[in-house]
């Protein structure tokens, strides 16, 4: 949004002139200040308990409060062209994230060299005084204005959607989970992290000596955790699938073995976990700045899915989205263009999937395609191209044409857009948690939470 600021030059300033701005202090302000100033005092970080009283403080730093006075002087009075000489402040109370603040200045004297002296204050909306003092500035010498445009915006790299998802999942009963070959610290650590947050109740299957050594390296206690000593990875995968079929486990989790070794046992006709659906992998992504979670499928299992496989990919993703709280998920089936081209199979598949959803052959969500990435995610891009759709510009699920494009998209969102991603496989008789060695703790927890919420939805 463009805004025009006009100044009041020194010769037009009159004693008693006043100006003010109103500003809501939000948590993101405190994170931005912490990063720009380097002040990491936990009293000012919204999620931290800075004084050990069991409560988060989220106090606005004093100099952030003072910066609101700077905004009044630089934008309103005297306005553009003003230069600070000094600022004295006395603090009387604290502001917190969520407070509405009013910063005011009042001209009380003029001096030589275009000096202007202001009484300054910052108060809560109810009048509670936070700080007051005096500012000395050099006022501009000529009438001028400034049109604020093309000022870069800021996106705080935090993952509020995953935080909310973890809050929903942690009160649930932990789901018994067969963890296959957790024989090194990363894979074992992910399972134990899920246990510590009451998301899963792990049953460890693999080489007991390696599992114990991994726990020792982590400094972790395995007391109370059931361990099946099955050194062979194929046999461990068979055992994990058997525990699900016996009702002892309600989820599978991949440890330190190749994905194919685990899934080979899942898809067996006899003794496997097959259903009428094809297996598909779904990335659930928390992209900073996006107002909702974003799902990408299939980036890990189906290399070049045909139409029948894409039906399962779409339906699996819709079912998962509903279990995560999205009432009617919007699915964008992607291609390089947004028009049907018989020479591009991905556009044909997208159009057919859209029609199948209209006819009730895919249920629970709204499906549209073909859509290019820009008009799937950006309303303005969709409007520019004349696309009228309930999905365009607001897709919550993205279905790229093949594994290469899906994997590239997911990795781009992770490593360029700083998204956090949790992964899960659906289409089997139970959710299958897939984690990567490159996953951080939040991603591992998210994968467990996704499985827990989906398993809960199956119970209902």
pLDDT at 157: 64
pLDDT at 56: 87
CB 239 within 8 Å of CB 257: no
CA–CA distances in Å: residue 286 to residues 11, 57, 196, 410, 417: 53, 26, 22, 11, 10
pLDDT at 458: 84
In the CATH scheme, what architecture does the domain 3-148 have? Answer: Roll (3.10)
Question: For every residue of 104-130, which 3-state class applies, written as one string?
Answer: EEEEEEECHHHEEEEEEEEEECCCCEE
Q: Which residue's structure tokens are 């009283």?
A: 53
- The length of the chain in residues reads 460
CA–CA distances in Å: residue 148 to residues 3, 7, 21, 152: 5, 13, 16, 11
pLDDT at 170: 87
CB 321 within 8 Å of CB 354: no
Q: Which fold, 160-459?
A: Isopropylmalate Dehydrogenase (3.40.718)
- Report d(CA 7, CA 281) in Å as an integer: 57
* Chain center to CA of 179: 26
pLDDT at 213: 96
- Report d(CA 333, CA 372) in Å as an integer: 8
CB 70 within 8 Å of CB 84: yes
> Where are the domain boundaries for CATH 3.40.718.10 in the chain?
160-459
pLDDT at 403: 97
Pairing assessment for the beta strands 100-110 and 280-286 based on DSSP bridges: unpaired
CA–CA distances in Å: residue 257 to residues 65, 188, 202, 360: 53, 12, 17, 39
Q: Which two tokens stand for residue 29?
A: 């302000």
Spatial CA neighbour of 317 closest among 333, 346, 287, 297: 297
> Where are the domain boundaries for CATH 3.10.129.10 in the chain?
3-148
- Report d(CA 369, CA 391) in Å as an integer: 9
Q: Which helix (H) or strand (E) holds 85?
A: strand 83-91
pLDDT at 71: 96
Could you list the mean pLDDT of each consecutive 10-residue stretch along the chain, which spans 460 residues?
Answer: 85 96 91 92 88 89 96 96 96 94 97 97 96 97 84 72 88 95 93 94 96 95 95 96 96 93 94 93 91 93 96 97 95 95 96 97 96 92 89 96 96 90 93 82 88 88
**What is residue 226's three-state secondary structure?**
coil
CB 332 within 8 Å of CB 392: yes
Q: Which two tokens stand for residue 352?
A: 């057919």
Spatial CA neighbour of 87 closest among 69, 75, 72: 69
């Amino acid at each position: 949004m463009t805004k025009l600021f006009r100044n009041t030059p020194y010769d037009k300033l009159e004693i008693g002139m006043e100006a003010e701005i109103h500003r809501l202090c939000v948590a993101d302000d405190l994170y931005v200040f912490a990063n720009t100033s380097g002040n990491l005092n936990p009293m000012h970080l919204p999620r931290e308990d800075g004084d050990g009283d069991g409560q988060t403080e989220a106090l606005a730093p004093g100099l952030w409060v003072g910066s609101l006075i700077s905004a009044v002087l630089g934008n309103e009075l005297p306005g553009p062209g003003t230069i600070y000489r000094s600022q004295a402040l006395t603090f009387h109370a604290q502001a917190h994230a969520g407070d509405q603040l009013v910063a005011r200045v009042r001209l009380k004297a003029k001096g030589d060299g275009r000096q202007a002296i202001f009484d300054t204050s910052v108060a809560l909306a109810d009048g509670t005084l936070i700080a007051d003092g005096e500012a000395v500035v050099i006022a501009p010498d000529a009438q001028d204005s400034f049109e604020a445009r093309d000022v870069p915006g800021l996106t705080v790299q935090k993952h509020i959607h995953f935080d909310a998802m973890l809050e929903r999942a942690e009160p649930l009963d932990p789901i018994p989970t067969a963890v296959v070959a957790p024989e090194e610290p990363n894979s074992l650590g992910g399972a134990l992290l899920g246990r510590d947050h009451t998301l899963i109740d792990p049953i460890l299957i693999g080489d007991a000596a390696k599992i114990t050594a991994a726990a020792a390296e982590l400094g972790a206690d395995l007391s109370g955790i059931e361990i099946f000593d099955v050194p062979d990875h194929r046999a461990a995968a068979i055992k994990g699938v058997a525990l699900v079929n016996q009702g002892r486990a309600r989820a599978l989790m991949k440890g330190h073995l190749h994905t194919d070794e685990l899934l080979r046992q899942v898809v067996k006709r006899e003794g496997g976990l097959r259903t009428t659906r094809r297996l598909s992998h779904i990335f659930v992504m928390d992209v900073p700045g996006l107002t909702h979670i974003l799902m990408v499928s299939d980036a890990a299992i189906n290399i070049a899915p045909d139409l029948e496989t894409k039906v399962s990919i779409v339906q699996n993703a819709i079912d998962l989205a509903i279990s995560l709280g999205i009432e009617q998920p919007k699915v964008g089936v992607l291609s390089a263009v947004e028009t049907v081209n018989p020479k591009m199979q991905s556009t044909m598949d997208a159009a057919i999937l859209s029609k199948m959803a209209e006819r009730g052959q895919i249920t629970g969500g709204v499906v549209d395609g073909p859509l290019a990435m820009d008009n799937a995610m950006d309303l303005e891009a969709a409007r520019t191209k004349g696309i009228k759709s309930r999905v365009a510009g607001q897709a919550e699920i993205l279905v790229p044409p093949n594994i290469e494009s899906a994997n590239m998209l997911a990795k781009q969102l992770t490593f360029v857009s700083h998204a956090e991603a949790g992964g899960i496989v659906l289409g089997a008789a139970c959710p299958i948690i897939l984690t990567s060695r490159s996953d951080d703790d939040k991603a591992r927890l998210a994968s467990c939470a996704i499985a827990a919420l989906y398993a809960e939805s199956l119970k209902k």
